[in-house]
């Protein structure tokens, strides 16, 4: 299955959830926020949110800025 992850093409197995993706990215337990198709996915719902073909996924974190 193909998705867009942080603006880049990304391939993963079908049937995975947003939490599975975060796990694959070794970001489980890190302070990140996830948006799918421009909608926030609350942390509590990552495990129950399935990913679909062509989903636009953003995974963001805090960085230095003014």
Partner 1 sequence: MTLQNDTPFTIAGRNFSSRLLVGTGKYKDFDETGAAIAESGAEIVTFAVRRTNLGQEAGPNLLDVISPSRYTLLPNTAGCYTAKDAVRTCRLARELLDGHNLVKLEVLGDETTLYPNVVETLKAAETLLADGFDVMVYTSDDPIVARALEAMGCCAIMPLGSLIGSGHGIQNPHNVRLIVEQSSVPVLVDAGIGTASDAAMAMELGCDGVLLNTAIAHAREPLRMARAMKSAVEAGRDAFLAGRMPRRQTADPSSPFAGRING
Binding interface with partner 1 (CB under 8 A): 5-8, 25-27, 30-35, 38, 40, 42-43, 58-66
Nearest-approach distance from CB 31 to partner 1, in angstroms: 5
Nearest-approach distance from CB 54 to partner 1, in angstroms: 18
For the beta carbon of residue 16, count every other beta carbon within 10 angstroms.
15
Is the CB of 38 or the CB of 53 nearer to partner 1? 38
Neighbouring residues of 37: CB distance < 8 A, sequence distance ≥ 6: 55, 56
């Amino acid at each position: 299955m193909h998705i867009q992850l942080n603006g880049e093409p990304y391939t993963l197995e079908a049937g995975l959830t947003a939490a599975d993706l975060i796990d694959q990215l070794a970001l489980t337990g890190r302070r990140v926020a996830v948006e799918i198709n421009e909608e926030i996915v609350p942390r509590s719902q990552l495990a129950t949110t399935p990913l679909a073909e062509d989903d636009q996924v953003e995974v963001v974190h805090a960085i230095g800025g003014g």
